[in-house]
């Protein structure tokens, strides 16, 4: 309908505008439209239909821009309008300055998300002319926690308004109030200054108007010598769609507007009229539109977009439809925007996506804030890695992998001084002369890490201390350009360049707006620390949204229902038609107070109205689409769609309707994976894709799955694929010393050995302040080593010791433990409970691992005396005591080996020995693992101990046993566990046991030589253990790389 105060004759708004354009009277009328998109679209339409496609001044406004221009005479004064970011910061200050009750539980300040929601609520209050005084009146109608909450919001709103008034800044609601405070004469003068030749005003495309907007329209309607028409989409006989507009309609009637007949084409359109009058309202059936309406059903959201993409490709390719004449709309676009980007790009469909992005999701902005947070959080390692791994801050001199390795090794979490201290201490330890390649490598790691931390600190130095607003602004700008962030954005890939450029631009605008606000508040000379700037920046960034500029007449339009109000497209897809998306579920905003809470009935009617308006936005074909599932959850078809289908006959489409064609390169590749025909190969080559390479890859994968033990590089046998230099490098491993862990690694999975030891791949780790099992074990090893050295010097023997000796031993062992614990990294404290387990729960020594150890040693009655502790063999040149190793070289058969034995006990009279391995878990190897050569540690220790005793005492000792010494803090599982070399339950004598131990040693040596032989032959196949899932695969970091699940 048309509402006007200018007569009762029927009105055709489109015809009136067309005549003015034809007569070159563009400056004689003013169009007020609901959105900036409609404004741009209308301006383009006017220019294209103007004679010669040239135009003079075109007056098109939204009601917001119109009001702003009326109120602000000086264009520069319009900078006093608050943005989303600055209003959020100002509102957060208002929360700080208000004595709160309901919100007092937030000890660390109101969360940004809550601030933004309340900001939106206050903004709505202002637009509707609702003041803090009105809210206080509402308090009389409510009670309990709702009343306390409403009182807090009213008080915050009051303080916020006072701040706005003091700083002379405004929001659109404030501007509405200011415009309505003008008397009619002043209003008329301002209007004529802005629009001197306008005598016709058309307001069109709006859903409804707030009370202040109606008052502004009324002021405009009484301007002398002007005519005003309101195009108001309202039909009083269909309450299911239009009842929420009753109040607005009546408000306009009270202002003396009268209804006249609207004879413009969209209103007379038969389909539009049917929807307006009958949808949700009648049970008629209309088969006449069936050829033009399609329902597309998809299994899920991704498939829904894929089917839409295929239909669009058919429209563009087969029917020569121009992409910009196609529109895809969603009610909740955020459910789909990322899917649309991926799938439309994959299908080669040009598109304009109008989703508003939050600055909090922009990688360049995140990188800048994270980089500054390095200083704010005193070099917290996560800030360092977050800032430097996004690709937009590239400090080429900084080796992040090396820095992470240093932080993990030294357990550095944060603290610039701590980084320096720990790295310096670590470097001092590496200065000890030792021909140890590990130490040399560690030195390089720590030197580089030290230099990198200093480099980062130097870059951030301008932000140390307090800064004025001007200093912060200059330093931030200098930082952004010195880090080459704009250049890195321009060098990033494809579609992201424009998006990231806009994000950085929006960020800088937000910073400038924020600093301008602070200048109004504090002047230019006040100084603030970095934390103050960052706290406000984070709030501002959370509230800031940005759009990428649309390319006119380029691509399919992808947008929301609200954004196409008043627009029409030839081909329209209304998508996401499932309950929860359209209509959305009723969720009242909890921060609205009393009677201002939106009612469910109004919510439902508004949702129907938006659906109705969208249904009227097509010319040639309409598509309605919906998904059946989301993840594992079933989705219900929208009841709006059900109502629509009951009114109109439609065509149904699903996945099967698009099986006859290939719509994208990905589909062609998928097809080629199934059938490597010459036709498909030729099509791929036409797309500059190496089809032969793909065919070869498919063949390789098939062979790998069907014959995983084939002599092929793709099955891990690489010798034939190596060049001469690589073969030489591999052959040099013959002279290498192998550690037990390396050999056990190969035994369990040759490929894992290859990845870790040959390629030297390192899965990423993160530093932790908690003590780990490895460190706990190392600490206990050191304590027990020094303890035995000390009691050996004093001639103390624990086996069968009396109470006096045990008391002395207790004094010695706990003294050593306390010293060791006091020397642990003071910035990375040992876990409290772990410390208690070592020194005694609640300070009671008798409730500790160490006291249990003394008691266990006291019980020994078999004549074995601990002789060697932390004794090394092979390439480890020094023992734990720092003395030269007795076995600087040790070969197991033809293979050089190295390692360190926790303890060797000797029975000198009987010339027997046993090896002891301390374990925190108490887990022991199985006999099967020993026989299969998977567990090599204890057999090799026995082999080395035998050689050691021969070198020291010049006799051949017999291996009595290998034992796991469980240090688990549990009375039942604490102590020695003998590894039996047989499963026989028959009691064996000592000679038989020694013979079996010798056999296990021989099998171990044989296995070691076999493994090294296979390494030299370049055989690095996947694990072939029948129980590989439990033995190696379950927690393996390389599982995703080796893809063992493909051949399982």
pLDDT in tens, 237-254: 999 999 989 999 999 999
Pick the residue with more confidence: 262 or 377?
377
Three-state SS sequence of 621-668: EEEEEEEEEECCEECCECHHHHHHHHHECCEEECHHHHCCCCCCHHHH
Q: Are residues 876 and 960 in the same domain?
A: yes
- Tokens 């704009």 correspond to what residue? 486
Instruction: Report percent pLDDT > 70 for the chain.
Output: 94
**What's the confidence (pLDDT) of residue 776?**
75
**What's the confidence (pLDDT) of residue 667?**
82
Q: Are residues 394 and 365 in the same domain?
A: yes
- State both tokens at 549: 């500029």
**Cα–Cα distance measured from residue 868 to residue 948, given in angstroms and rounded to the nearest whole number:** 10
CB atoms within 10 A of CB 444: 11
**What's the confidence (pLDDT) of residue 771?**
53
Q: Rg (Cα) of the chain, in Å, rounded?
A: 40
Number of structural domains (the chain) is 7
What lies within 8 Å, CB to CB, of 648 at 6+ separation is 285, 286, 287, 289, 290, 293
**What's the confidence (pLDDT) of residue 985?**
74
Strands 891-892 vs 895-907: parallel, antiparallel or unpaired: antiparallel
- Do 796 and 805 meet the contact criterion of CB atoms below 8 Å apart? yes
Three-state SS sequence of 269-316: CHHHHHHHHHCCCCCCCEHHHHHHEEEEEEEEHHHHHHHHHHHHHHHH
Q: Are residues 527 and 606 in the same domain?
A: no
Q: Which of 834, 861, 888 is the last residue of a domain?
A: 861
Q: Which of 268, 296, 325 is the last residue of a domain?
A: 268
Max mean pLDDT range (15-19, 188-192, 491-495): 188-192
- Do 22 and 51 meet the contact criterion of CB atoms below 8 Å apart? yes
Task: Decide if 713 is inside a domain.
Answer: no
Residues 556-611 have pLDDT tens digits of 999 999 888 878 899 999 999 999 999 998 877 777 877 777 777 888 999 999 99
**What's the confidence (pLDDT) of residue 38?**
81
Task: Tell me the pLDDT band of 627, cut-offs 50, 70 and 90.
Answer: very high
Task: Decide if 1044 is inside a domain.
Answer: no
**Cα–Cα distance measured from residue 669 to residue 791, given in angstroms and rounded to the nearest whole number:** 73
Task: Tell me the pLDDT band of 892, cut-offs 50, 70 and 90.
Answer: very high
**What's the confidence (pLDDT) of residue 841?**
86
pLDDT for 714 beyond 70: yes
Q: Which of 500, 526, 546 is the last residue of a domain?
A: 546
- State both tokens at 939: 């057999």
Report the CATH number at residue 571.
3.40.50.300
Helix, strand, coil percentages in the chain from 3-state DSSP, rounded to 5: 55, 15, 30
Task: Decide if 711 is inside a domain.
Answer: no
**What's the confidence (pLDDT) of residue 75?**
57
**What's the confidence (pLDDT) of residue 1028?**
87
* For residues 1036-1042, average pLDDT: 84
- Do 941 and 948 meet the contact criterion of CB atoms below 8 Å apart? no
Q: Backbone phi, then psi, for 432, in 5-degree steps?
A: -60, 130
Q: Which of 450-464, 605-619, 708-722, 796-810 has the lowest mean pLDDT?
A: 708-722
Q: Are residues 367 and 506 in the same domain?
A: yes
Q: Which helix (H) or strand (E) holds 404?
A: helix 400-410
Residues 352-372 have pLDDT tens digits of 888 778 888 888 999 999 999
- Do 778 and 821 meet the contact criterion of CB atoms below 8 Å apart? no
Three-state SS sequence of 958-1013: EEEEEEEEECCCCCCCCEEEECCCCCCCCCCCHHHHHHHHHHHHHHHHHHHHHHHH
Q: Which of 112-121, 374-383, 567-576, 674-683 has the lowest mean pLDDT?
A: 674-683
Residues 539-552 have pLDDT tens digits of 889 888 888 877 77
Q: How far apart are the first and last CA of the chain?
A: 70
- State both tokens at 343: 């799938």
Q: Where are the alpha helices (DSSP H) in 23-143?
A: 36-49, 63-71, 84-97, 112-127, 132-138
**What's the confidence (pLDDT) of residue 709?**
76
Strands 467-468 vs 227-231: parallel, antiparallel or unpaired: unpaired
State the average pLDDT for the chain.
Answer: 87
Report the CATH number at residue 380.
1.10.486
Q: Are residues 462 and 441 in the same domain?
A: yes
Q: Backbone phi, then psi, for 234, in 5-degree steps?
A: -145, 135
Beta-sheet strands, E only, within 504-568 = 527-528, 545-546, 556-560
Q: Are residues 555 and 630 in the same domain?
A: yes
What lies within 8 Å, CB to CB, of 491 at 6+ separation is none
Pick the residue with more confidence: 149 or 267?
149
Query: What is each CA distance from 972 to 575, 760, 968, 969, 977, in whole angstroms?
Result: 65, 41, 9, 9, 12
Eight-state DSSP code of residue 714: G
**Cα–Cα distance measured from residue 778 to residue 812, given in angstroms and rounded to the nearest whole number:** 19
Q: What is the dihedral of CA 667, 669, 673, 675, to 10 degrees?
A: 80
Beta bridge partners of 62: 33
**What's the confidence (pLDDT) of residue 769?**
56
Q: Are residues 782 and 838 in the same domain?
A: yes
Q: Are residues 588 and 620 in the same domain?
A: yes
Pick the residue with more confidence: 744 or 695?
744
From 122, 771, 703, 95, select the one nearest 411 (Cα to Cα).
Answer: 771
Three-state SS sequence of 159-221: HHHHHHHHHCCECHHHHHHHHHCCCHHHHHHHHHHHCCCCCEEEEECCCCCCHHHHHHHHHHH
Eight-state DSSP code of residue 586: P
**What's the confidence (pLDDT) of residue 829?**
46
431 three-state secondary structure:
coil
pLDDT for 182 beyond 60: yes
- Tokens 């878990």 correspond to what residue? 921
Q: Which of 74-83, 755-764, 807-816 has the lowest mean pLDDT?
A: 74-83
- Do 337 and 576 meet the contact criterion of CB atoms below 8 Å apart? no
**What's the confidence (pLDDT) of residue 203?**
93
Task: Decide if 282 is inside a domain.
Answer: no
Task: Tell me the pLDDT band of 57, cut-offs 50, 70 and 90.
Answer: confident
* For residues 793-804, average pLDDT: 90
**Residue 335, burial from CB neighbour count under 10 angstroms (0-12, 13-18, 19+):** middle
Residue-range definition of the domain harbouring residue 752: 718-761+869-1021
- State both tokens at 99: 């004595």
Pick the residue with more confidence: 48 or 1020?
1020
CB atoms within 10 A of CB 599: 12
Beta bridge partners of 557: 327, 352
Task: Decide if 1037 is inside a domain.
Answer: no
**Cα–Cα distance measured from residue 260 to residue 8, given in angstroms and rounded to the nearest whole number:** 5
Q: Which helix (H) or strand (E) holds 572?
A: strand 569-575
- Do 550 and 352 meet the contact criterion of CB atoms below 8 Å apart? yes
pLDDT for 533 beyond 80: yes
**What's the confidence (pLDDT) of residue 301?**
95
34 three-state secondary structure:
coil
Q: Are residues 535 and 394 in the same domain?
A: yes
Q: Are residues 213 and 255 in the same domain?
A: yes
846 three-state secondary structure:
coil
Task: Decide if 979 is inside a domain.
Answer: yes
Q: What are 662-665's contacts with CB under 8 Å, separation 24+?
A: 663/309, 663/310, 663/313, 663/347, 664/309, 664/346, 664/347, 664/348, 665/346, 665/689
Q: Are residues 432 and 462 in the same domain?
A: yes
* For residues 960-987, average pLDDT: 85
Residues 391-435 have pLDDT tens digits of 888 888 889 888 988 888 888 888 899 899 889 888 887 665 444
Q: Which of 67-71, 142-146, 458-462, 772-776 has the lowest mean pLDDT?
A: 772-776
**What's the confidence (pLDDT) of residue 828?**
42
What lies within 8 Å, CB to CB, of 811 at 6+ separation is none
Instruction: Report percent pLDDT > 90 for the chain.
Output: 41
Task: Decide if 1034 is inside a domain.
Answer: no
pLDDT for 1001 beyond 90: yes
Q: Which helix (H) or strand (E) holds 426?
A: helix 416-430
> Angle at Cα 727 formed by Cα 726 and Cα 733, nearest 5°?
95
> Angle at Cα 806 formed by Cα 800 and Cα 808, nearest 5°?
140
Q: Backbone phi, then psi, for 394, in 5-degree steps?
A: -115, 90
* For residues 482-491, average pLDDT: 89
**Cα–Cα distance measured from residue 555 to residue 540, given in angstroms and rounded to the nearest whole number:** 33
pLDDT for 777 beyond 70: yes
**Cα–Cα distance measured from residue 412 to residue 943, given in angstroms and rounded to the nearest whole number:** 39
Q: Which helix (H) or strand (E) holds 499?
A: helix 496-522
Question: Using omega within 30 degrees of 0 as the cis cutoff, is the peptide bond preceding 583 cis?
Answer: yes
Task: Tell me the pLDDT band of 773, cut-offs 50, 70 and 90.
Answer: low
Q: Are residues 340 and 244 in the same domain?
A: no
**What's the confidence (pLDDT) of residue 433?**
47
- Tokens 């998109």 correspond to what residue? 37
Task: Decide if 1010 is inside a domain.
Answer: yes
pLDDT for 477 beyond 90: yes
């Amino acid at each position: 309908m048309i509402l006007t105060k200018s007569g009762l004759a029927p009105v055709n708004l489109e015809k009136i505008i067309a005549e003015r354009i034809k007569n070159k009277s563009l400056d004689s009328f003013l169009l007020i439209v609901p959105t900036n998109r409609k404004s741009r679209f209308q301006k383009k339409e006017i220019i294209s239909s103007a004679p010669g496609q040239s135009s003079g001044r075109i007056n098109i406004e939204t009601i917001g821009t119109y009001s702003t221009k009326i109120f602000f005479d000086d264009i520069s004064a319009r900078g006093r309008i608050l943005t989303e970011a600055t209003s959020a910061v100002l509102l957060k200050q208002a929360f700080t300055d208000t004595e709160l009750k309901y919100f007092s539980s937030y000890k660390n300040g109101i969360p940004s998300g809550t601030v933004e929601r309340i900001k939106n609520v206050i903004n709505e209050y202002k637009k509707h002319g609702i003041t803090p005084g009105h809210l206080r009146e509402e308090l009389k109608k409510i009670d309990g926690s709702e009343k306390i909450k409403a009182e807090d919001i009213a008080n915050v709103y009051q303080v916020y308004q006072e701040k706005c008034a003091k700083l002379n800044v405004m929001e659109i609601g404030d501007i509405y109030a200011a415009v309505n405070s003008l008397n009619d004469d002043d209003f008329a003068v301002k209007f004529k200054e802005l629009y001197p030749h306008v005598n016709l005003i058309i307001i069109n495309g709006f859903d409804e108007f707030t009370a202040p907007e109606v008052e502004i329209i009324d002021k405009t309607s009484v301007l002398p010598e002007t005519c005003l028409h309101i195009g108001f989409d309202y039909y009083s006989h269909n309450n299911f769609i239009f009842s929420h507009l009753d109040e607005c309609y009546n408000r306009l009637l009270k202002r003396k507007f009268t209804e006249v007949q609207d004879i413009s084409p969209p209103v007379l359109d038969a389909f539009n009229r049917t929807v307006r009058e009958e949808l949700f309202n009648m049970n008629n059936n209309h088969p006449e539109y069936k050829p033009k309406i399609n329902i597309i059903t998809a299994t899920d959201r991704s498939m829904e977009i894929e089917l839409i993409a295929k239909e669009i490709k058919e429209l563009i390719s087969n029917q020569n439809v121009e992409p910009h004449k196609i529109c895809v709309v969603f009610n909740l676009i955020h459910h789909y925007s990322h899917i649309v980007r991926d799938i439309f790009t994959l299908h080669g469909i040009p598109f304009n996506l109008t989703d508003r992005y939050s600055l909090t999701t922009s990688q360049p902005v995140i990188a800048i804030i994270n980089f500054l947070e390095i200083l704010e959080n005193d070099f917290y390692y996560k800030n360092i890695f977050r800032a430097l791994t996004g690709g937009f801050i590239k400090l080429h001199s900084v080796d992040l992998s090396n820095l992470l390795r240093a932080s993990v090794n030294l357990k550095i979490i944060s603290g610039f001084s701590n980084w320096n201290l720990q790295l310096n201490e670590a470097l001092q330890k590496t200065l000890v002369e030792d021909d140890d390649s590990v130490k040399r490598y560690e030195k390089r790691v720590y030197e580089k890490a030290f230099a990198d931390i200093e480099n980062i600190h130097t870059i951030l130095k301008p932000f140390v201390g307090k800064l004025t607003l001007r200093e912060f602004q200059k330093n931030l700008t200098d930082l952004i350009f010195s880090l080459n962030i704009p250049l890195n954005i321009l060098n990033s890939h494809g579609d992201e360049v424009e998006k990231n450029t806009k994000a950085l631009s929006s960020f800088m605008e937000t910073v400038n707006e924020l600093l301008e606000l602070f200048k109004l508040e504090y002047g230019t000379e006040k100084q603030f620390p970095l934390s103050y700037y960052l706290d406000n920046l984070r709030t501002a960034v959370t509230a800031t949204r940005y759009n990428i500029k649309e390319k006119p007449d380029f691509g399919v339009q992808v947008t929301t229902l609200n954004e196409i109000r008043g627009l029409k497209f030839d081909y329209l897809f209304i998508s996401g038609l499932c309950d929860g998306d359209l209509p959305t579920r009723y969720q009242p905003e909890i921060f609205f107070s009393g009677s201002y809470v939106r009612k469910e009935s109004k919510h439902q009617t508004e949702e129907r109205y938006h659906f109705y308006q969208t249904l009227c936005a097509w010319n040639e074909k309409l598509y309605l689409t919906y998904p059946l599932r989301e993840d594992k959850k079933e989705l219900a078809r929208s009841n709006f769609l059900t109502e629509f289908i009951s009114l109109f006959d439609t065509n149904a489409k699903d996945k099967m309707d698009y099986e006859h064609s290939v719509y994208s390169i990905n589909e062609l590749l998928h097809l080629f994976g199934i059938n490597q025909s010459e036709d498909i190969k030729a099509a791929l080559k036409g797309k500059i894709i190496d089809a032969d390479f793909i065919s070869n890859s498919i063949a390789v994968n098939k062979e790998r799955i069907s014959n995983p033990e084939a002599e092929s590089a793709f099955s891990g046998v690489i010798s034939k694929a190596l060049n001469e230099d690589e073969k030489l490098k591999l052959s040099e491993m013959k002279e290498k010393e192998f550690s037990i862990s390396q050999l056990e690694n190969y035994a369990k999975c040759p490929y894992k050995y290859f990845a870790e030891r040959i390629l030297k791949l390192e899965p990423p780790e993160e530093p932790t302040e908690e003590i780990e099992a490895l460190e706990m074990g190392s600490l206990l090893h050191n304590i027990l080593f020094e303890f035995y050295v000390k009691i050996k010097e004093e001639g103390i023997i624990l086996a069968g010791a009396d109470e006096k000796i045990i008391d002395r031993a207790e004094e010695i062992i706990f003294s050593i433990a306390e010293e060791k614990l006091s020397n642990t990294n003071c910035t990375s404290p040992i876990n409290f409970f772990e410390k208690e387990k070592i020194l005694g729960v609640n300070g009671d020594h008798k409730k500790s691992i160490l006291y249990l150890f003394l008691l266990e040693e006291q019980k020994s009655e078999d004549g074995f005396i601990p002789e060697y502790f932390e004794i090394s063999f092979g390439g480890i040149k020094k023992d734990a005591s720092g003395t030269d190793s007795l076995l600087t070289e040790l070969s197991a058969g033809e293979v050089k080996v190295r390692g360190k034995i926790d303890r060797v006990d000797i029975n000198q009279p009987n010339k027997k020995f046993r090896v002891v391995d301390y374990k925190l878990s108490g887990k022991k190897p199985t006999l099967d693992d020993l026989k299969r050569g998977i567990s090599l540690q204890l057999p090799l220790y026995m082999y080395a101990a035998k050689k050691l005793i021969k070198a020291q005492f010049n006799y051949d000792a017999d291996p009595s046993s290998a034992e796991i010494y469980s240090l688990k803090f549990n009375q039942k599982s604490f102590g020695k566990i003998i590894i039996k070399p047989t499963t026989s339950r028959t009691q064996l004598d000592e000679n038989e046991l020694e013979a079996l131990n010798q056999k296990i040693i021989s099998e171990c040596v044989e296995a070691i030589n076999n493994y090294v032989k296979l390494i030299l032959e370049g055989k690095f196949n996947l694990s072939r253990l029948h129980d590989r899932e439990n033995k190696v695969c379950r927690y393996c970091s390389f599982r995703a790389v080796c893809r063992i699940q493909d051949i399982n």
